[in-house]
Amino acid sequence: MLEIKNLKVSYNELNILKGIDLSLNKGESLAVIGETGAGKTTLSLSIMGLIEGHCTGEILFQGENLLSLPEDELRLLRGRRIAMVFQDVEAALHPLYTIRQQIIEAILVHGEKDRDFAAEHTRQLLARVGLDERRGDSYPHQLSGGEKQKALICIALANDPDVLILDEPTAALDALTKAEIINLLRKEAKERITLVITHDIDAAAKLAERIAVMYAGRILEMGPTEELLEQPMHPYTRGLLRSYPNMTTTKDLQGIPGRMSHRVEGCPFHTRCTQKIAVCGHDVPELQKKNSRYLACHRGGIIPLLEVKNISSNIDKVEILHSVDINLYEGETLALVGESGSGKTTLAKTIMGLFTAKQGEIFLEEKPVIQRKKEFFERVQMVFQNPGESISHRMNVYQAVKEPLDIHGSRASESEKQEKVKKVLDEVELTGDDEYLKKYPHHLSGGEAQRVAIARALVLDPKLIIADEPTSALDASIQAKILRLFLDLQEERGLALLLITHDIALARKVSDRMAVMLQGTIVEEGPTSEIVNNPLHPYTKCLIEVAPTMSREISEPLETNSREEDHETETDFQKGSSDSQQNCPFIRRCPHPLPRCFQDKPELKTCSVHRVACFRHTVHWPT
């Protein structure tokens, strides 16, 4: 049982660890992840008692405080009860001794007298880690990186320790070797307390049941591995996951803006955080337990920015939206996909207040939106489908970008406004010279006009941008640039994006979550990678089937079911909304409908990480 209580470590007055609390029981494993310089290695070295800095707090190993033990006693523990696989395989092995000699040394140091026993044990160890018997007589420089890593593991395991600390056990290894080492370590870690120190999220996930995210000497978030990776709660954790290349997520890589500093008042992450508030600057958030998770954030983790609850909307007595529910978190992209006419734009306009909702509620930052005042528009902005038309043809670039500032009646002087306009134009990668500012919309290319439209939306510093088919009028290369721009803005400002598109291939690259819309209802919702790789709703499957690929294969168009049915639903639709609510909106095109689908409308139900509205995937199937 290893328990760390309020551990603080400082080197030369600089605090590296600022109060770490951890507790690990036998058989448990914990991975500490974070950027370089977060204090991960310092944590491992201070458990080993190898730290040169000044330590306070307690490290309790089976009831004994390691920090107060004298060096002699500590030496008895080190390598025998608590062992470590050191970072940097090149430097950790002695170049003048053979591997076998170094392993035997580890055994003999702890009082073993019988050399033959030690040699035999070494042989067993080498076999256990899968290292050839003969390689034992090699010098470190004769071994490959993977073999050296295995040798180091042998040394650590030599005395069958209770606590195994692995510091970057897989860094600098190729993928196959890494997989081999991970397999080995996972076997060896059973029945021990394992602490994995790594920046490699994959290794952490595979080696540990729990993950702690460390930043500037503090733990920001801790929780069960799967849960934490699926749904990070701290913005820093999300940033780490977003910047980690892997085969699960499909979104383009994004980094975390800024640099880590150990000399920050308040929340250590607040200088880089996009959702900071005043309190983050001077108070340190406590690590608090929330269900199975621990989280240190004044805002309770990534905040839900926009919540649309049960919204229905009519246009001329035809119901376009049927109780739509969506959530959008800070700094997140939610792609709303679906064919034209499915109500995507209506939803966007309803959120913006251009249409009034018949029922339902909208919450912005957990406060209900009743009347849209200027404060609302300062937080939420929209980029329209056709950039050229959304800018008045009587306004030049400068006037167009300045318009929101004028409306908000900011007391800023004209020159301040001009500065702001130029800054925001620079942000969207347009020149702010006077000649350009005097151009009219019809002088601009499609891509430029869209950038101007985005600049207009950005000039008020919103937290959420609703982008309605922002690139449908642009060619692919310009589209790529515009989307890159959105992602960069998201990274820098924590901008949340509600991306409305019919292009699922595009949504796949830029969104964190995806909601599929059909005839005014959300039929499936979930993490983008899940929706794309494992669609549940037949409509989503169709959309993915026809999504752009680089091959000559074509997919068959969906045929509608029986003609009679077709006719019936057609008239239902014309009659209005009430009747078409009586069956599944996809019934006409569904390849394998159930009898129930003709009578009832499926509701959105949770199914693994998705939410799906399909009777075939309803968990509680009534008999």
Which residues contribute to the site for another protein (CB under 8 A)?
A: 349, 352-354, 372-374, 376-378, 381-382, 384, 386, 389-395, 403-404, 406-408, 440, 442, 453, 456, 460
Query: CB neighbours (10 Å) of residue 373?
Result: 9
Judged by beta carbon, residue 381 or residue 569, the one nearer another protein is 381
Question: Based on CB atoms, which residue is closest to another protein, 47 or 380?
Answer: 380
Which two three-digit tokens encode residue 458?
Answer: 């950005």
Which H or E element spans position 489? helix 476-493
Is the sign of the CA dihedral 305, 271, 23, 6 positive or negative?
negative
Q: Taking the complex as a whole, how short is the minimal distance between the CB of residue 442 and another protein, in angstroms?
A: 4
CB 140 within 8 A of CB 150: no
Contact 380, 462 (CB under 8 A): yes
Q: Which two tokens stand for residue 37?
A: 């310089």
Q: Which residues contact 456 (CB under 8 A, 6 or more apart)?
A: 391, 400, 401, 403, 404
Q: In this complex, which beta carbon is closest to another protein, that of residue 103 or of residue 391?
A: 391
**Closest distance to another protein from the beta carbon of 429 (Å):** 21
Using CA atoms, how far apart are residues 615 and 587, in angstroms rounded to an integer? 11
Least Å from the CB of residue 451 to another protein: 15
Which residue lies nearer to another protein by CB, 380 or 522? 380
Residue with tokens 């551990």: 7
Q: Which is nearer to another protein, 141 or 442 (CB)?
A: 442
Query: Smaller CB distance to another protein: residue 284 or 352?
Result: 352
d(CA 369, CA 361): 7
Q: Nearest approach, Cβ of 486 to another protein (angstroms)?
A: 17
CB of 404 to another protein, least distance (A): 4
Least distance to another protein from the beta carbon of 387, Å?
A: 9
Shortest distance, position 405 Cβ to another protein, whole Å: 9
Separation CA 514–CA 543 (nearest Å): 13
Cβ contact 429:488 at 8 Å:
no
**Helices 446-458, 476-493: inter-axial angle, 10-degree rounding:** 20
Cβ closest to another protein, residue 45 vs residue 458: 458
Rounded to a whole number of angstroms, the minimum distance from the CB of residue 253 to another protein is 31
Nearer to another protein, 231 or 472 (CB): 472
Report which of 22, 32, 86 is spatially closest to residue 200, judged by C-alpha positions. 32
Least distance (Å) from another protein to the CB of residue 395?
Answer: 8
Closest CB to another protein among residues 121, 344? 344
CB 215 within 8 A of CB 268: yes
Q: Which residues of 459-498 are buried (b: 16+ CB within 10 A; e: fewer)?
A: bbebbbbbbbbbbebbeeebbeebbebbbbbbbebbbbbb
